[in-house]
Amino acid sequence: MLSLRLSTRAWHAWMARATVVVAALTAAPAAMAAFSLTTRWDSNDATKVQYEVDTNAGLVVKFRAYDNGVSTQSAGDISSLVYNGVQYQNQTKGSQLNSGADGLFSNVSAVSVSAEVISSTGAATPASTAQNGVLTGGAFIKITVTSNSANGGVLKHYYLLKSGESRVYLATWFSEEPDVLGLVRYIVRVPITALPNGPDAGVPGGRASNGTWPQDLRGTDTTVESSDVFGFSSSSTYAGQTRSKHYANQRLKDWTYFGGRNSAGTVGLWFYRDSHEGGSGGPFYRSLLNQITSTDNELTYIVNYGEAQTESFRLGVLNSYTLIFNDGTAPTAPDTSWFSLVGLQGYVAASGRGGVAGVGLSGTDSQFVYTVGLANAQAQYWATANLANNGFFKASGVLPGTYTLTVYKNELAVYTGTATVTAGSTTSLNTIAISGDPEAASAVWRIGQWDGTPTDLRNGDKLTTTHPSDVRLSSWAPGTFTVGNSANTDFPAYFWRDINSGQVVQFTLTSAQIKDTTVRIGITTARANGRPAISVNSWTSANPAASTQPSTRTLTVGTYRGNNTTYSFAVPASALVVGTNTLTINAIGGGSATGYLSPSFSVDAVDFLQ
């Protein structure tokens, strides 16, 4: 007789597989109430496989494993999303990566899709190959979608489901950036009848004061810009207002979830993000997140995105995000520690990570929030400094490596250094002295605050959720700003060559103030090489060089975020007079675009140094 001895772990793994296999052999040919993975053949065709998962929590999801021949129905899509008997998936389209996994890379359409049940110890059993073959008895189910580029790069996308949870966990890893669209995103297309509402105010795409959502296109009947910014004609209640998917945004550091609710408010469908370590653009990056149309509520999770991008995309990092069904309340952070059991490319457990902690910051201004960012070619992180505790900060869960450490006063970089992180430990830093705050310089007068944003200037509080032409904004017409009488909100947040070039600033000088000086204009981003040029009385500056900024639209698609740049103009004493002086600011730049797409820039602050 052969004697077979198994370790405890091996015995549990064998038993887990046996349980799942027995279930596959004995289950009825229908999705079961228990946590299960069922193989379906569309039209009874073995080449048209879908994998159906019952989470045993009211959620039943189907994943397409074959190419259906159209861009919106690809292998690797979610084809059905039924929660408590209601279909939350548009049946004419899939929910998918980009515009379908078969179109991620140029000249490549082949996509492989596999499914398996995984036990609580990590033992995996492949899905049945039989029509209506059912597997039960596991703790997790993993669907793996793989696309290989012609250059040897690979993208792996995972769908993960946990027994007893009404959630779909998603994770995406890629060694080469998909080049067809030049981005990585996941779109869930929900019928508008099932999810007609966006979220409350205070989260991305949140309800505005007039009861609408800035990304809600329902009722729009005019095109304002390109094919993605829309408006309402004069006959509408909202005449002159603008809507766009781009206006469902917030700074990345300010949100953790977005989504919407059903008409009764009793069901919520949300995307909850991870640390976004594999994203690009840093803690203040803004991008579209959802779009509400007459047919769909499209929840769009951005892994990385080209619009208004300030840095290169990051590769080789596992990006995870969770689709959560609940009772309509704000979702809570999901536990993903069990990812260590299911074999994900690029997964790094907590034990393989470290952190950075700083004793504090000195030289801060209590009016502002300070953020400490860590960034290198592989990953990005950030932490908010606690000014009530001397500016203490701590970033945890950081991949090992050497990072550029940047301290931001609101969004303006005021200190740059380095920090090295090792696995299993936290790097401690001494107090960091802020050394690069332009507000430290003494000024005769200053318009705005040096904080890397235009939000304290005219219209600056509305520009991330409206097009600059929106009737709810104050006029952009250039006028006269009088130092000592005008408020910051009288000075325009944005300048365009075709819209409001020629803004005048009047100020008074005494005889003691007539000397060589500097006028500084800080910008946060620009389009078409937009930049300021000035004149003071009869003196005119040379045209400065253009700064390096994102090449795509920014100011019209809800973001002022770019590469903060300060233009310094040396003004000779001979240009100044005792009494009233006139500074004129013009917008210059290149290209043939006109109107709100003409050369332009966003203003941080303007000052006249002593």
Instruction: Express each pLDDT in 147-173 by its tens digit.
Output: 999 999 999 999 999 999 999 999 999
- Give yes or no: residues 552 and 405 share one domain: no
| Phi, psi angle pair for 103, to nearest 5° | -125, 35
Task: Identify whether the C-beta of residue 207 lies closer than 8 Å to the C-beta of residue 179.
Answer: no
Task: Identify whether the C-beta of residue 602 lies closer than 8 Å to the C-beta of residue 526.
Answer: yes
Nearest to 450 by CA among 371, 565, 311: 565
User: Given a cut of 80, is residue 360 above it in pLDDT?
Assistant: yes
C-alpha–C-alpha distance, residues 178 and 510, integer Å: 61
- Give yes or no: residues 34 and 180 share one domain: yes
Nearest to 438 by CA among 416, 464, 457, 412: 412
Going from the C-alpha of 454 to that of each of 45, 141, 375, 567, the distances in angstroms are: 59, 47, 24, 16
Q: Which residue has the tokens 């059905």?
A: 80
- Give yes or no: residues 544 and 462 share one domain: yes
What's the total number of domains in the chain? 3
Decide if 236 is inside a domain.
no
CA-based R_g, the chain, Å: 28
User: Given a cut of 80, is residue 128 above it in pLDDT?
Assistant: yes
H or E element, residue 401 = strand 401-409
Going from the C-alpha of 235 to that of each of 231, 240, 306, 499, 577, the distances in angstroms are: 12, 10, 36, 26, 53
Decide if 214 is inside a domain.
no
- Give yes or no: residues 427 and 443 share one domain: no
Count other Cβ atoms within 10 Å, centred on residue 366.
Answer: 8
- Mean pLDDT on 441-467: 98
Decide if 453 is inside a domain.
yes
C-alpha–C-alpha distance, residues 313 and 305, integer Å: 8
pLDDT band at 411 (very low <50, low <70, confident <90, very high): very high
C-alpha–C-alpha distance, residues 439 and 460, integer Å: 20
pLDDT, tens only, 295-324: 999 999 999 999 999 999 999 999 999 999
- Mean pLDDT on 390-416: 98
C-alpha–C-alpha distance, residues 566 and 488, integer Å: 19
The torsion of the CA quartet 9, 10, 16, 18, rounded to 10 degrees, works out to: -160
Q: Which residue has the tokens 């990056």?
A: 285
Report which DSSP code applies to 331. P
Task: Identify whether the C-beta of residue 219 lies closer than 8 Å to the C-beta of residue 232.
Answer: yes
- Give yes or no: residues 540 and 470 share one domain: yes
Decide if 224 is inside a domain.
no
Classify burial at 392, counting beta carbons within 10 Å of its beta carbon; exposed 0-12, middle 13-18, buried 19 or more: middle
- Give yes or no: residues 424 and 443 share one domain: no
C-alpha–C-alpha distance, residues 89 and 287, integer Å: 24
Nearest to 529 by CA among 541, 543, 509: 543
Two structure tokens written together for 176: 């080469």
Task: Identify whether the C-beta of residue 384 lies closer than 8 Å to the C-beta of residue 366.
Answer: no
Q: Residue 69 has what pLDDT?
A: 85
Decide if 84 is inside a domain.
yes
Q: Residue 1 has what pLDDT?
A: 33
C-alpha–C-alpha distance, residues 99 and 70, integer Å: 10
- Give yes or no: residues 428 and 460 share one domain: no
Which of these three, 341, 371, 391, is where a domain ends? 341
Amino acid at 452: G
Q: Residue 10 has what pLDDT?
A: 44
- Give yes or no: residues 176 and 303 share one domain: yes
pLDDT, tens only, 100-122: 999 999 999 899 999 999 999 99
Report which DSSP code applies to 325. E
Q: Which residue has the tokens 């803690």?
A: 283
- Give yes or no: residues 294 and 362 share one domain: no
C-alpha–C-alpha distance, residues 185 and 180, integer Å: 12
Q: Residue 71 has what pLDDT?
A: 75
C-alpha–C-alpha distance, residues 102 and 266, integer Å: 36
- Long-range contacts for 109-112 (Cβ within 8 Å, ≥24 apart)? 109/67, 110/147, 110/148, 111/67, 111/74, 111/75, 111/76, 111/145, 111/146, 111/147, 112/75, 112/144, 112/145, 112/146, 112/147
Structural domain including 369 reads 350-433
Count other Cβ atoms within 10 Å, centred on residue 125.
Answer: 21
Q: Each residue of 76-98: b (16+ CB within 10 Å) or e? A: bbbbbbbbeeeebbbeebbbbbb
- Mean pLDDT on 526-543: 98
Which of these three, 402, 433, 464, is where a domain ends? 433
Q: Which CATH number fits the domain that encloses residue 541?
A: 2.60.120.260
Decide if 235 is inside a domain.
no
pLDDT, tens only, 176-185: 999 999 999 9
Q: Which CATH number fits the domain that encloses residue 375?
A: 2.60.40.1120
C-alpha–C-alpha distance, residues 525 and 521, integer Å: 12
C-alpha–C-alpha distance, residues 458 and 476, integer Å: 8
pLDDT, tens only, 50-102: 999 999 999 999 999 999 888 789 999 999 999 999 999 999 999 999 999 99
H or E element, residue 23 = helix 8-26
Which of these three, 408, 433, 458, is where a domain ends? 433
Looking at the DSSP bridge assignments, the partners of residue 148 are 154
Q: Which CATH number fits the domain that encloses residue 269?
A: 2.70.98.10
Sign of CA dihedral 293, 297, 303, 309: positive
- Give yes or no: residues 278 and 417 share one domain: no
- Give yes or no: residues 488 and 595 share one domain: yes
Q: Residue 24 has what pLDDT?
A: 44
Collapsing DSSP to helix, strand or coil, 235 comes out as: coil
C-alpha–C-alpha distance, residues 254 and 393, integer Å: 17
- Give yes or no: residues 415 and 508 share one domain: no
Decide if 33 is inside a domain.
yes
C-alpha–C-alpha distance, residues 159 and 512, integer Å: 70
pLDDT band at 4 (very low <50, low <70, confident <90, very high): very low
pLDDT band at 564 (very low <50, low <70, confident <90, very high): very high
Task: Identify whether the C-beta of residue 577 lies closer than 8 Å to the C-beta of residue 536.
Answer: no
pLDDT band at 9 (very low <50, low <70, confident <90, very high): very low
Task: Identify whether the C-beta of residue 391 lies closer than 8 Å to the C-beta of residue 370.
Answer: yes
Amino acid at 532: P
- Mean pLDDT on 341-355: 98
Decide if 225 is inside a domain.
no
